[in-house]
Every structure is written in C-alpha cells, then in structure tokens.
Amino acid sequence: MSLGAMTCTRCGDSFEPQEKIVNSNGQLWHTQCFVCAQCFRPFPDDIFYEFEGRKYCEHDFQVLFAPCCGKCNEFIIGRVIKAMNANWHPQCFTCELCMKELADLGFIRNAGRALCHECNARVKAESLGKYMCHKCHSTIDGEPLRWRGDTFHPYHFNCAACGNELTANAREVKSRPGYTANEMNELYCLRCHDKMGIPICGACRRPIEERVVTALGKHWHVEHFVCAKCEKPFMGNRHYERKGLAYCETHYHELFGNLCFVCNSVIYGDVVMALNKAWCTHHFACALCDTKMTQKTKFFEFDQRPICKKCYERFPQELKKRLKRQHEVQARGGKPAV
C-alpha cells in the first residue's frame, strides 16, 4: 500500500512524504494526533492505557476509570480488592488489629472493622470476659495458663518433671544456677515446683527468679514490695510495719506518728506534747525570747504558743488579766462565767 493510500486513525487525513508516522497495534497516526483522548496531550514516555478503543494517558485513565484505595487514597492499577464497601490495594487491606494482609487470608467484619480470623476470635472472647488460647486459637472457658506473655489452655502442657497435665496454677522456672538445660524456662506443676524451693511473690504470685525480699512473713520481688500508701518500691530502704502492711518512713509517721508544730516534720525522737500540739524537743521554746523549754518548764499560753514565765511577767497587768479570764473560760469548756 502506498503512503498516499494510508490515513490517520484519528483525523482521517493522509500522510505527507517523509512524515513521521506513529504505528500502534497496526493503526497509523500523525504524531500530533497520537494524544490522550481526554487531555489531548502527548503520552509521557509513550505510556498509555486503552479502554473501549480510546487511548488515555496514565493520569486521565486513573481519574476516569481506576478505583481509589480506601486506605492510602491512591489510584489502584492492577489487582483490586473489593471489600467493606470500598476498593483497596492488596497491601493496604489489612487487619485493623494485627495489620496482617487479608487479601489471601480472608477476613471477618466485626463492628465495622475488617479483622483476621485470629483477631476476631480474640475480640469475641474478650467481649465474653474470656481469654483466647495462643496455641489452638479457641476460647478458654476456664482459668487460662499464662506463659511468656500469652494465655493458653492448661491442658496443652505437661509438667517438665512428673509429666502430669498442667493446670492454670503451673509455674515457670527460668534460667537459674544449678539447674540443667532441660530445667530452664520450663513449666512445672505446683507440687514439683515447691520441691525446687523457689519462693513465690506475695504480690503477683509468680516465682521469684532473682533477688528476693522477705518481709511480713512473705517473699516479694524487689519491685513488688511497696509502701501501702504511696505504692513506691522500698528498693532496700527501711520500711515500717503496722497491721500486716508495710509503709515508708514518711507515710508511716504521717499516718501514725507526730508532726512538729514548728517545722511540720515528722518527729522521730522524743516529742513534747503541749497546747494540744506536738513539738520537737529543740523547737519547744518561748515564742518571744526563744528560750528553750521542756515539758516540765512552767509556761503560759499566748496566741496558741508557749510563753516563758519571764516574758509573761513583762506583760501589762490588763493583758495578764484578760489572758487569765480566757484560760478560765477554756477550762470550763468555753462557757462564760455567770
């Protein structure tokens, strides 16, 4: 066929001699006619997409025909996952809890979320107030066995010593000096565990594998032996016991000891009780001349503070009479004289 007999697929005109011709799948085009059917611009890098006999640049093809991913909001070229009333890239359609890709695993719709079968079973178990077995992935009806941060049906395990089927009270023994490799990081029934002489923490009820604190007739992990008031670990510091509970020094004295009226600090040694208040022995002094006094020293009350006899004698006679009347009223329980 001669050049004059050939025509452009788009405009229908013939081609000039020596004119550059675009051949696409047997169809011929003028270079200026071989453009996107939407934006009428040349195809970047000669890349185009064809749909229903029309050619489009990548951008316009995506805008017109490619679905948008429900997660990343980008256009999807290639495999499209249709689920949850949306379109997804395969790598974007994941379990909302564990982030596993669901395209080939399958999923279950739970409260508007796409979950893998394992996470859905765990959520369902939690809604019933139960646990899910990390081994068989089914609901645990009774008390779970906790091991290495996960929960299991106890019957999946046997005691490392006697071979009996374990219960939820099984104990884990971690690496300790004097035990063989087979005895490390294994589970034991209570009977076999007790024979090993490993103490149990009075707080978490788990074995104590490292440093142990013995107090209040029990054993404790160092971080679990805490003040009953502030719940801070003692970490080797002194503690005070009262009615089966342990307190740090500050809170023990705040709750059960005396605070000095002057310095507001806990009184650890001798205490002076006067004017319905507690005083450090070195803070119990005349409010005017600061002369140190003892509980046996004769003193007078002035403005709820102790005044030594010498300072009291310097008061005007009228003030002393008024103070005396106030003292008599207080002695009668606050009732004025008739």
Q: How far apart are CA 46 and CA 13, in angstroms?
A: 22
Residue 149 within a domain: no
Residue 289 within a domain: yes
What pLDDT is stored for residue 229 in this prediction? 92
Confidence of residue 233 (pLDDT cuts 50, 70, 90): very high
* Listed residues 206, 232, 256: the one ending a domain: 256
Structural domain that includes position 290: 259-332
How many CA atoms lie within 13 Å of 46's alpha carbon, on the beta-carbon side? 4
The helix/strand/coil state of 64 is helix
* Listed residues 256, 271, 289: the one ending a domain: 256
Q: What is the chain's mean pLDDT, rounded?
A: 82
Residue 337 pLDDT exceeds 50: no
Same domain flag for 284 and 251: no
CATH of the domain at 273: 2.10.110.10
Residue 177 pLDDT exceeds 60: no
Listed residue (101, 75, 99) closest to 90, CA to CA: 101
The answer to whether 65 touches 77, Cβ cutoff 8 Å, is no
Q: How far apart are CA 214 and CA 143, in angstroms?
A: 29
What pLDDT is stored for residue 174 in this prediction? 66
Residue 222 within a domain: yes
What pLDDT is stored for residue 138 in this prediction? 80
